[in-house]
Amino acid sequence: MCEIKVITGTSAAAEAAKLADVDVIAAYPITPQTTCVEKLAEFVSNGELDAEYIKVESEHSAMSACIGSSAAGARTFTATSSQGLALMHEVLFSAAGMRVPIVMMNANRALSSPINIWNDQQDSLAERDSGWIQIYAEDNQEVLDSVIQAFKIAENENVLLPVMVNLDGFILTHTVEPVTLPKQENVLEFIGTYEPKHAYLDPKKPITQGALGDPNYYMETKYAIEMAMKNAEKVIVDVHDEFKEKFKRGYGNGLIECYNLEKAETVIVAMGSICGTIKDVIDAKKKEGKEIGLLKIRCFRPLPIEMIKDALKNAKNIAVLDKSISLGMNKGIVYVDVVSSLKNKKTVNYIVGLGGRDITFEDILEIYTDVETSEDGKTIWLGLKE
């Protein structure tokens, strides 16, 4: 029932959008996302995908067109990265506020300046508070599976929020891996056809979308998004369970993935492709009889904080890896969010890989050793040159 292709992460995202039979794509090319929108253009051009492809003049217009399209009831997809995501910033908040279930692939890349096209996660983490659900993928298979799941999550009536599927720029976007592609009929059976019941622009049933919300109404709209995020936690788990049942693949419980956490006193918390390297280190140390663990955060918004607390209950030394930095705070964004809910735990923050600097097997080994002896609350910029 499946086909295996050796493809890049961006191709995996494009294949997933095709499998989901999206109606509208509005996109602007940006490195390292470009090959995703090129692939989609090819699908539409070849007639492999019946969709309107709007070749917008900027990412701001890409997201604006996606909002118009999704509000008009069409299953809508776009992809971006870094500066492009930043250019969308204003309209990202509009998309969430207007409750349009757009799915977007974001190739994680550093923000200027200096201009840098390589990977870190500052771009999407800076959009943490926009009301978008954020999923981070570890490998190309997870990219494909996450995009498929994202449509089902976003379009759920108890959620109706846009979803951003993040993959590390170049590390995943440009690396080819074998990816199993399910059959489209099975994917569509899983997601269903998008039939908006809440609201869409129909001349037969006119509604006003994006009205002025004065102080009497604004706060409630934000609270409604918070409640939808809360609902999303369960929906993400359910969708993940259903996906696992149907396609025989899974990623923890959909929100977090625990790797060798039970016996481990030293644990790394991380997101994205680096989790693969961490797992290798864990496996190597296990052979030496040492138990160390990984808590992979797959879903950063909503952040399943209770699950994270529970997963870390036995941990004594917690290293939080951040490919981001909140300047003026000297802490990574993941660290700030995770540690704010942990009490009586020793946590150390490692700022790693900004702007695409390599994070090696040896670096991870060093972190595991360092966190055992480092003092609580410390921030270490790993490998910073003098």
Partner 1 sequence: MAGMQFPRDELFAPGHRGCAGCGAAIVARLALKAAGKNTIAANATGCLEVMTTPYPETAWRVPWIHVGFENAAAVASGIEGAVAALKRKRQKYGSEKVNVIAFGGDGGTADIGFQALSGAMERGHDMVYIMYDNEAYMNTGAQRSGSTPFMASTTTSPAGSHIRGENRPKKDMPMIMAAHGIPYIATASISYPEDFMNKVKKACEIDGPAFIQIMQPCTTGWGYPAENTIEIGRLAVETGLWPLFEIENGEFKLNYRPLKRKSIDEYLKMQKRYRHLTPADISKIQEAIDLKCQEYGL
Q: What are phi and psi of 180, to 5 degrees?
A: -85, 125
Contact status, residue 40 vs residue 17, Cβ threshold 8 Å: yes
Nearer to partner 1 (CB atom), residue 65 or residue 236: 65
Binding to partner 1 (CB under 8 A) within 161-200 occurs at: 193
Segment interacting with partner 1 (CB under 8 A) among 18-26, 125-133, 171-179, 283-291? 18-26
Segment interacting with partner 1 (CB under 8 A) among 90-98, 292-300, 348-356, 364-372? 90-98
Decide: helix, strand or coil at residue 8: coil
Contact status, residue 352 vs residue 321, Cβ threshold 8 Å: yes
Contact status, residue 300 vs residue 235, Cβ threshold 8 Å: no
At its nearest, how many Å lie between partner 1 and the CB of residue 111?
Answer: 21
Binding to partner 1 (CB under 8 A) within 217-276 occurs at: 217
80 makes contact with partner 1 (CB under 8 A):
no
70 makes contact with partner 1 (CB under 8 A):
yes
Nearest one of 333, 335, 328, 334 to 377, comparing CA atoms: 335
61 makes contact with partner 1 (CB under 8 A):
yes
d(CA 197, CA 195): 6
210 makes contact with partner 1 (CB under 8 A):
yes
CB atoms within 10 A of CB 352: 23
Nearer to partner 1 (CB atom), residue 129 or residue 245: 129
Contact status, residue 122 vs residue 174, Cβ threshold 8 Å: no
Radius of gyration of the chain (CA): 20
At its nearest, how many Å lie between partner 1 and the CB of residue 101?
Answer: 13
Nearer to partner 1 (CB atom), residue 89 or residue 249: 89
Binding site for partner 1 (CB under 8 A): 23-24, 26, 50-52, 54-58, 60-62, 64-74, 76, 90-91, 94, 98, 193, 201-214, 217
